[in-house]
Amino acid sequence: MKVEKQVTSGQLDFTFTRRAVFVGGVQAAIGATVAARMSYIAVADNEKYKLLAESNRVNLTIIPPRRGWFIDRYGKPIATNRADFRVDIIPDRLVRKEETIATLANLLALSSDDVDRINRELKQAQGFQPVQVADGLDYERFAAVSVRLPDLPGVSPRQGYSRFYPSGAAVGHLIGYVGTVSAEEYQKNKNPLLITPGFKVGKDGLEKTLEDKLQGEPGAKRTEVTARGKIVRELTTRPDTPGKPVQLTIDIDLHNYAARRLGLESGSVVVFDCLTGDILTMASMPCYDPNSFSDGIGRIEWKMLNSDDHIPMLNKALQGLYPPGSTLKPMAGLAMLKHGVDPEETVTCGGGYRLGNRVFKCLGRHGPVNMPTAIMKSCNTYFYSMGRRVGYDNIAPIARELGLGQEFPLPFPSQRYGTVPDSEWKMRKFGQKWTESDTLNAVIGQGYIIASPFQLGLMAARIASGHNLLPEIIKKNRAAPNLLSFPQEHLDVVRKGMDLVVNGAGTAVRSRLQLENVAMAGKTGTAQVRRIEGAQRGQSGAWKYRDHGLFVCFAPVEQPRYGAAVVIEHGLGGARAAAPIAKDVLTFLYDREQAMASLEALEAGWGGNIEQRMAAKYAAFQGQPADPPPLDPTA
Amino acid sequence: MNGIVPAPIATLPWRVIFILMALVGFGATVLYSTAGGHLEPWAGKHVARFLVLLAMAIVMSRLRMEFWKSITFPLYLALIFLLIVVEFLGFVGGGSQRWINLGIITLQPSELMKPVMVLAAAWFFDRLPPNRISGIDAIWPVAALLVIPSALVIIQPDFDAAIAYAFGLGVVAFLAGLPLIYFIGAAAAVAIFAPLVYFFGMKPYQQDRVLIFLNPENDPLGAGYHITQSKIAIGSGGIFGKGFGNGTQSHLDYLPEGHTDFVFATMAEEWGIVGGFFILGLYVLLMRWGLGVAMQSKTRYGQLVAAGLTCTIFFYIMINLLMVVGLAPVAGIPLPFVSHGGSSMLTMMICVGIIMSIERHPGAKRGQFS
């Protein structure tokens, strides 16, 4: 078709008409497309888009439930909730990080340690997790942040509740602490409650193990919001259901007293009710202040806790394991009686016991001693001799019957149960036969045997009551405990020996209770931290090489009601470090004024009560001069 | 009618005026609701602006076609000049600037160029001897008419305007009888080059925009947000809508630009597809009127101008509606006569005025047999 077509204007006119109709058709087709698309969106997908529009419009805010309280056996609060004004940062809404934090630091007078912590938590927060800036704010500071909100995207001021522990550090190991949910915990079940600002979960101790009971049901607030998050109006609000309170067997006053009485020492006090097995006190010091954790702990405070050689993060009552030393002698006495040893039979102590070519030393030359005297004087020679006669495989079951090496179903995240060795155990563990010298070591509580202060306290309570007491921390009505396998005469012999320790001419006479009608019986113990070498006997030198001081006891002697154990790490000896504390703690049960008077005298020398000492330590750790302790610590 | 209504009023093009009044009136109703039940800041201005521009259009309708033909090319050159001036002032101002401030009004030459491009193309094809329509002579002047202003607006940068020019000019060229092979070829070229441009010519962020257009849910908080919110507004409206004043998407600011580019979604949320079909129906009537005027025009210039301007109006409607229902990418193009905004209303009313002028003066059929 090389010939060029001759086009006329008439043809073009015709072309125009045809093409104009075509253009009109295309327009109609596009119009129909729009109409069809619109109908599809608005009719077929109507439900879906209605929901989306509604979820745009309505902002559901979860109201975190108030946490259930911990109360003591008499209903006194151990852990409560304090209403507070708080400020959080929602990391994924944060726009100008540095600027915002600087503004907040200025408005809220944050310390550099706080700013460090906020930056650190922001780095780990992964977008969804609120980071606490500050809580416990007064209304003025809270309002100062609130009015600047439009310039501070990502900042969320709110009124909420924070966990409060009136006893502070005294209950740290017992109750644990709460904190914000970690990323891993949130990943496990994507419950939106977990990432609600201000929501805390238990991180340690009973707070952690009883989480389900304490948590409660969240409430919800529905608000209509604009695209920029401005609240237009409130729609409906459903209040939260607070978590249930948990009543513990603890006597919080006694517990606080015990914690304070531990003073500068590193140790623990456990007191049992001999009628039921209820745990009345389980103090372990030094400890962290759980209030610091529920606020989000500062870096310096964290470093201070971790660098302390007294290990404030360790619950020494349940997780500390020590050679029980001579505190096991009453238990060994029960075993010997059971296996035919006459309590009146005497062993002459000449300062030691010869086994083959090795001499096992006694702490003194006690002359002829029978069983009660041997307990009173803590005569090793007697127990070496009788222990060897009975054999340790006959003693170990008694140790277990009294709670050593035994596991208890208590709601604590971690407990340690120690070891009660015997020949079978040694064979399993080391592939070696049990030897006579193993028996001699074990019978005086050295060598392989280790136990926790909790177990030692329970042992004392079981000896005192003669019943198979089962320890319990949650208050409930329980069946009366069963009797142990010991006849009353055997128990009387051992209790007599323990009575003499304190009230006779024993090792703890200086810790006799200064009370009318109430006497305490007990047994001291000193646990070697390292081998005795020459003159080095663990009574001097660096703190961490000194012997542990232990004391188990019960009171009153006649009708035992309380069984207790005190373990002081590196306290040199039971009589010197542990027994005086046990004396004051038991005194507190009968005469608070006398007990408080002796405590206050001591605290004046220690630099104040727990709170004052911790504050001073914190200030010193920061390199700042600490406030001098007040002259009158009660002021 | 005669005797009761004065002749100047009776002879007004009432049909199109009613269509426009319905559109503007409904638009004002939607704008009134969007402002939370207030005439300020949009609805009142919208109606006032329309009335002023309607008067202007009626004045324009009185002008003869010869007048339009005679000023077409000078107007085109003047706008090219203004585009260059804007460019120059823009550089001085240190950024992209599309407006010239004349004191009383701000003039946007790139917007005015849209109808003038149609006039210029019609003017050219009217002058082109019919037998040259298939030759190379028909191509390069058309290309030159398009390339010069397009290049100037692309520098601004305003791609939307350049596409509008190409559309107006293309429609006129198509109706003028340019061989179909050119259009088929152009479509084929786009089909071939679009993927090539996508894979080799675009930077990653530009590719992302294309992907987001194809699947807006992928980027619900970024560029896809507008489309998603628009679909939510339309979709949640259902058949009869949520009722006047009850649209939450627009009232709570979820729908961006609810009074300008996304006014259709605002409307659909409260009036449902019933309202949507009402607006579509009015546009159908408007298009029928415009194309009808073109068909009835006796002159080639009149035919091409009327049809071309109708398609310019259609271009706005099409891009906007396809955008709000999620079938076209987000472009800053308002919905004619409904969206709030002065510049687009001015352009639309210029188009209407000229078409009205052609309706009033269909001209004498020329040609060798007349």
Question: Which residue from A7, A37, A38 is facing B133, i.e. has the nearest CB?
Answer: A7
* B8 confidence band (pLDDT: 50, 70, 90): confident
Which chain B residue's Cα is nearest to A14?
B177
Which chain B residue's Cα is nearest to A13?
B300
CB-CB contact of A79 with A165 (8 Å): yes
Q: Using alpha carbons, select from A387, A490, A408, A411 the residue that is nearest to residue A451.
A: A408
Which residues of B fall within a CB distance of 8 Å from A95?
none
Spatial separation of the C-alpha atoms in residues A104 and B69, rounded to whole Å: 68
Give strand pairing partners of A61: A221
* B120 confidence band (pLDDT: 50, 70, 90): very high
CB-CB contact of A107 with A148 (8 Å): yes
CB-CB contact of A260 with A609 (8 Å): yes
pLDDT of residue B97: 53
Identify whether B367 is part of a domain.
no
pLDDT of residue B98: 57
CA-to-CA dists, residue A202 to A193, A288, A290, A413, B98, angstroms = 14, 15, 11, 11, 62
Higher pLDDT among residues B13 and B267, named by residue: B267
Contact between chains at B253 and A57 (C-beta distance less than 8 A): no
Looking at residue B245, its amino acid is: G
Spatial separation of the C-alpha atoms in residues A447 and A421, rounded to whole Å: 9
Helices (H), chain B: 7-10, 14-34, 43-62, 65-93, 109-127, 139-155, 159-176, 180-196, 204-214, 224-237, 248-251, 263-296, 300-324, 342-360
ipTM of the shown complex: 0.91
pLDDT, mean of residues A525-550: 74
Contact between chains at B325 and A37 (C-beta distance less than 8 A): yes
CB < 8 Å & 24+ apart, contacts of A603-612: A603/A260, A603/A263, A603/A633, A604/A631, A604/A632, A604/A633, A606/A263, A606/A264, A608/A633, A609/A260, A609/A633, A610/A168, A610/A169, A610/A170, A610/A259, A610/A260, A610/A285, A611/A168, A611/A169, A611/A289
Identify whether B368 is part of a domain.
no
- The phi, psi pair for B106, rounded to 5°, reads -100, 125
Least confident of A323-332, A597-606, B53-62, B253-262: B253-262
Tokens for B44?
């009142």
Least confident of A81-90, A428-437, A507-516: A81-90
CB-CB contact of A568 with A265 (8 Å): yes
Contact between chains at A39 and B280 (C-beta distance less than 8 A): no
Which residues of A fall within a CB distance of 8 Å from B248?
53, 56-57, 224
Contact between chains at A9 and B300 (C-beta distance less than 8 A): yes
Looking at residue A442, its amino acid is: A
Q: Where are the beta strands (DSSP E) in A297-433?
A: 347-349, 352-355, 358-361, 367-369
Using CA atoms of A143, A147, A152, A155 in order, give the dihedral in degrees to the nearest 10.
40
What is the distance in angstroms between the Cα of A290 and the nearest Cα belonging to chain B? 41
The position carrying tokens 């002359």 is A367
DSSP state of A517: S
Spatial separation of the C-alpha atoms in residues A20 and A10, rounded to whole Å: 15
Which chain B residue's Cα is nearest to A57?
B248
A27 in contact with B at a CB cutoff of 8 Å?
Answer: yes
| Contact partners, residue A202, CB within 8 Å, separation at least 6 | A176, A177, A178, A208, A209, A210, A211, A214
Question: Same topology for domains A61-247 and A252-529+538-616, yes or no?
Answer: no
Which residues of B fall within a CB distance of 8 Å from A43?
238-239, 273
Contact between chains at A42 and B234 (C-beta distance less than 8 A): yes
Which chain B residue's Cα is nearest to A227?
B254
Which residues of B fall within a CB distance of 8 Å from A24?
287-288, 291
Question: Which residue from A11, A48, A224 is facing B235, i.e. has the nearest CB?
Answer: A48
b (16+ CB within 10 A) / e for A553-581: bbbbbeebbbbbbbbbbbbbbbbbbbbbb
What is the distance in angstroms between the Cα of B8 and the nearest Cα belonging to chain A? 31
pLDDT, mean of residues A614-627: 73
Which residues of B fall within a CB distance of 8 Å from A37?
325-327
Residue spans of the domains in chain A: they are 61-247, 252-529+538-616
Q: Are strands A367-369 and A279-285 parallel, antiparallel or unpaired?
A: unpaired
Identify whether B184 is part of a domain.
yes
Which chain A residue's Cα is nearest to B135?
A4
Instruction: Look up the CATH superfamily of A252-529+538-616.
Output: DD-peptidase/beta-lactamase superfamily (3.40.710.10)
pLDDT of residue B362: 84
How confident is the prediction for chain A on average, in pLDDT?
87
| Number of domains composing chain B | 1
| Per-residue pLDDT tens digits for B193-250 | 888 888 887 777 777 767 777 776 666 666 678 888 899 999 999 999 999 988 888 8
What is the distance in angstroms between the Cα of B197 and the nearest Cα belonging to chain A? 26
Which residues of B fall within a CB distance of 8 Å from A25?
none
Identify whether B132 is part of a domain.
yes
pLDDT of residue B6: 80
Of how many residues is chain A composed?
Answer: 635
Which residues of B fall within a CB distance of 8 Å from A42?
234-235, 237-239, 268, 272-273, 276
Spatial separation of the C-alpha atoms in residues B291 and B304, rounded to whole Å: 10
- The phi, psi pair for A363, rounded to 5°, reads -80, -15
| Per-residue pLDDT tens digits for A363-379 | 889 999 999 999 999 99
Identify whether B86 is part of a domain.
yes
Residues 231-290 of A with CB under 8 A from B: 232
Spatial separation of the C-alpha atoms in residues A368 and B141, rounded to whole Å: 133
Residues 450-509 of A with CB under 8 A from B: none
**Interface A:B, Cβ pairs < 8 A:** 146
pLDDT of residue A155: 85
Structural element, H or E, at residue A31:
helix A9-39
The position carrying tokens 């050689």 is A309
Tell me which residue range forms the domain holding B295: 7-360
Looking at residue A368, its amino acid is: P
CATH number of A61-247: 3.90.1310.10
Rg, C-alpha atoms of chain B: 22
| Per-residue pLDDT tens digits for A280-305 | 999 999 888 888 887 667 777 778 88
CB-CB contact of A301 with A498 (8 Å): no
Residue A524 three-state SS: strand
Which chain B residue's Cα is nearest to A228?
B253
* A115 confidence band (pLDDT: 50, 70, 90): confident
Higher pLDDT among residues B277 and A151, named by residue: B277
Identify whether B366 is part of a domain.
no
CB-CB contact of B231 with B305 (8 Å): no
CA-to-CA dists, residue A145 to A42, A102, A233, A487, angstroms = 43, 12, 22, 71
Helices (H), A343-448: 371-377, 380-390, 392-401, 423-430, 436-443
How confident is the prediction for chain B on average, in pLDDT?
86
Determine if residue A603 is left, alpha or beta; phi over 0 gives left, psi from -120 to 50 gives alpha, anything else beta: alpha
Identify whether B47 is part of a domain.
yes
| Per-residue pLDDT tens digits for B142-184 | 899 999 999 988 887 777 888 899 999 999 999 998 889 889 9
pLDDT, mean of residues A333-348: 93
pLDDT of residue B217: 64
pLDDT of residue A224: 85
b (16+ CB within 10 A) / e for A505-521: ebbbeebbbebeebebb
Contact between chains at B277 and A35 (C-beta distance less than 8 A): yes
Contact between chains at A12 and B300 (C-beta distance less than 8 A): yes
Q: What is the DSSP string of B252-282?
A: TT-STTTTTTTHHHHHHHHHHHHHHHHHHHH
CB-CB contact of B103 with B130 (8 Å): no
| Per-residue pLDDT tens digits for B50-63 | 999 999 999 999 99
Which chain A residue's Cα is nearest to B369?
A10
Question: Which residue from B131, B268, B307 is facing A20, i.e. has the nearest CB?
Answer: B307
What is the distance in angstroms between the Cα of B54 and the nearest Cα belonging to chain A? 25
Assess whether the previous peptide bond of A192 is cis (omega < 30° from 0): no
Give strand pairing partners of A137: A85
Instruction: Indicate the pTM of the whole model.
Output: 0.68
Contact between chains at B174 and A10 (C-beta distance less than 8 A): no
Q: State the Cα angle at A524 between A519 and A528, rounded to 5°.
A: 170
